[in-house]
Structure 1
């Protein structure tokens, strides 16, 4: 082997070693839409004051949209002036990131009496050379990742008869869209899965290259909630699972036909935000504001899929911070009970902690929980164990957004990508180095 080939092989090995365990974060709640990062080898204990702050970017704009991170690019939706934009940042720029482009999604979602902050709330989805983003008024756009050039757009209410459940929207809401469209687009193969809601169909598949409708689930006419759909397979049948105010439903990935439904009694009586959790043919859903949680089992058979109720409890009342599943146990925050560890199959509580950290959102990585309080700017690292809450470090964000309105909070979920932790607070984006 000559010297040049030796050098080339050494370079390849070095690159592979450097990127070992690294992972992008292409969409809401990560690669598998479950709030769990695939990364390994990150710091398992934080020093006093937390991990190093790599940089702060302070020019995003309003909204609770979380970032999608692909390599050295970050994509996030923001409200600026009277419009919502999809913004791309160059992460390899010296110092803080450099904004590469901003593409208008549509008008900013707002209404009289709103003191929770204006949109957008949906997180963008990255897929190859395309980025998909959704605005509060249902403007769905596909843009070129490199340049931000628009490829196609579709207004969900106007073209697909979309309807959002108005529960919690407020008496002064002048639109039929409640808090606005907030689900994050799902890419599955050649299709982009969206949630129009309403009489023309709850879920729909679009050709991801053109935006043309492939199918709309006319047999399921629930209004859209604020929860994002997930993909699963049950008995070899690929399907999309969605939580609505009426309960849970699964439709065929092939044609959108209804495969099963769970109609909750009573229905969820407030905003449905958190995404469902799927594991071993079981689906878990939880809603805050006193609504509780449900676990169902999907049983495939010759006549189709039947639904068995495993439990319906008040053990977990998760509002918007999400729940993660690790080794058969659920972790997150429950209103009235604090942070928790609960056995999925039984609903048995392993521990609750009301005092260590305020209500917030959670992301998991390599057996650890990154918990971000929605008030006060505290971020904690907690071991995912049923024994007891075992904190491995915490820190305070250096500042709080002045854009945040009275009733708003730090509701954007933490993102872990390629050894970095990203925390968004409206116009502020913080990046921390998690490598040991």
Structure 2
């Protein structure tokens, strides 16, 4: 009798314990967003297709109008601008007439202000004393275009819209395109918005996934928008439109370039390049690279099988284009020919990451006939070194050496100097040189990690970020 009673109580206790644990697990199960919590892998890593297609049911219904908030900040009258990805001339060279210091004091360059950001790698654009950054607010789960004063970092206004998203090596990625009239952004999940520059008032929006069948890239959208002569040039890379032009004022589609080969969108951005005297839009999609006329006609195309492409095409002398990517892709050099029948593209060099200049994330800089960049981790003996190559040579002109390696962070050229931001927030200044690596100064300007967002420059003020904070420093003479 006593034994039966004990057995009964043990059974009751075990049942209660199991029920409690099961209840907690059920509560947790229903509280998380399973569709957004899947682990992603590199293209083809599991033996499947090189690029996975997002299911139609996973395309969100997003109200892009959102809401506008205003704050106490005011625009400054400071000089300088950086209106889009890679600057006004899309070459990542700042041409503001400003003298910068050749050395820094022991305590480093002056940090003028800093602001907290949502986790990500989006970088700022600058125009008329305002800093524009496309952020992600994790508290409200919203994409947010934020406007700050260049003078003190105080926020002026914020335009946001609700967007469920979870961290995937951060959230934000892109850089706004800014003109006197409007600002265009592309969010991490392929949402395009246009607002008025001074006020942040909403003008129009496009959901590229929903409306054009865009495949959301691995690690969210990295394509930065391009504004050219009143048109927004985008690469949906959907079934019916590889590239398209949208009127900035009305949001109406002006032209669409077809996508007969079914190429997909990459992390690369469209570059406006002049080839054989004609301005065209050059884009490296997953599948190949193409040149599209200003009226939407495909002028030439060439296949390339790189699965993850982040750097953008670089125009070289002789109507050649250099393209690189990470994850073993290496680099491709293409010759664009022109005849009476039109344009054609032919491969003139293809190299692995250990054979020639390659880059995983940042676009190399072309200056005075030489290419400068950071080699990827799989770059052999030159891995993670800052290197200089001649487009016509087979060996590096020089490299930074094994004791001076860098990560995936950005670099920029201004006033005869390169500034390189390492993953941990260390900023290195070196002289632009044709003969060798000449470091001038180094200082840790950020305390975070994954400092991968591109650098912006306006006058003597430099804007840099790590994964969660942006700082403004003054690198001018006497600062």
Give SS of 1:232's match: strand
Q: Does structure 1 retain, via aligned residues, the 8 Å contact 2:125–2:132?
A: yes
Q: Does 1:346 align with 2:393?
A: yes
The corresponding residue for 1:318 is 359
For each residue in 1:255-314, what CA deviation from the matched residue of structure 2 results, as whole angstroms up to 9, or x when unmatched? x221111213xx113x10011111331111111122111111212221111223231113
Structure 2 residue aligned with 1:57, among 104, 114, 121?
Answer: 114
Query: What is the count of residue pairs matched by the alignment?
Result: 386
- 2 CA distance for matches of 1:156 and 1:245? 16
* Residue 202 of structure 1, CA deviation: 1.5
- Would you say 1:66 and 2:123 are equivalent positions? yes
How far, CA to CA, are the matches of 1:50 and 1:73 in structure 2?
Answer: 27
Alignment of 1:9-158 (within 5 A): 23-49=80-106, 52-81=109-138, 82-92=141-151, 96-110=152-166, 114=168, 116-117=169-170, 119-158=171-210
Q: Give the match for residue 416 of structure 1.
A: 457
Q: Is the 8 A contact 1:242 1:276 kept in 2?
A: yes
Distance in structure 1 (CA, Å) of the matches to 2:264 and 2:390:
31
Pair 1:308 & 2:357 matched: no
SS at 1:349 equivalent: coil
**1:352 to partner: Cα distance:** 2.1
Given that 1:74 and 1:90 are in contact with CA atoms closer than 8 Å, whether structure 2 keeps it comes out as yes
Instruction: Identify if the C-alpha distance between structure 1 residues 286 and 423 changes in structure 2 by more than 3 Å, giving closer, same or farther.
Output: same
Shift of 1:178: 2.6
How far residue 366 of structure 1 moved from its aligned partner, in angstroms, is: 2.9
Query: Shift of the alpha carbon at 1:347?
Result: 4.6
More helix by share: 2
Q: Deviations over 1:126-181 (max 9, x none)?
A: 011211111111111111122211111111111222224xxxxxxxxxxxx43222
More strand by share: 1
Q: Secondary structure at the match of 1:346?
A: coil
Query: Contact conserved, 2:426 with 2:446, CA < 8 A, in 1?
Result: no
**Structure 2 partner of 1:367:** 416
Kept in 1: contact 2:237–2:285 (CA 8 A): no
What is the root-mean-square deviation in Å for CA atoms of aligned residues? 2.0
Query: Computing the radius of gyration over CA atoms, which structure comes out larger, 1 or 2?
Result: 2
Q: Return the offset for 1:224.
A: 0.5
- The alpha-carbon distance between structure 1 residues 362 and 105, as it changes in their structure 2 partners (threshold 3 A), is farther
Q: Check if 1:279 corresponds to 2:313.
A: no
Return the offset for 1:187.
0.5
Secondary structure of 2:411's match? strand
Shift of the 39–433 alpha-carbon distance from structure 1 to 2, 3 Å rule, reads same
Gaps (5+ residues) in structure 2?
1-76
1:72-119: per-residue Cα shift (whole Å, max 9, x none)? 100001111211100000223xxx3211111115515436xx4x12x2
Of the three residues 283, 295, 298, the one matched with 1:258 is 298
Distance in 2 between the 1:105 and 1:429 partners? 22
Tell me the CA shift for residue 426 of structure 1: 3.0
Matched, 1:433 2:469: no
TM-score normalised according to structure 2 size: 0.77
In 2, the alpha carbon distance for the partners of 1:199 and 1:246 equals 13
Contact 1:90 1:99 in 2 (8 A): yes
Residue 272 of structure 2 is aligned to residue 231 of structure 1: yes
Question: Who is 2:290 aligned against?
Answer: 249
Alpha-carbon distance between aligned partners in 2 of 1:140 and 1:88, rounded to the nearest angstrom: 17
Q: d(CA) in 2 for partners of 1:356 and 1:85?
A: 37
Once the two structures are TM-superposed, the CA of residue 219 in structure 1 deviates from its matched residue by 4.2
Question: Partners in 2 of 1:392 and 1:386 — Cα distance?
Answer: 15
The gaps in structure 1 that reach 5 residues or longer are: 1-17, 165-176
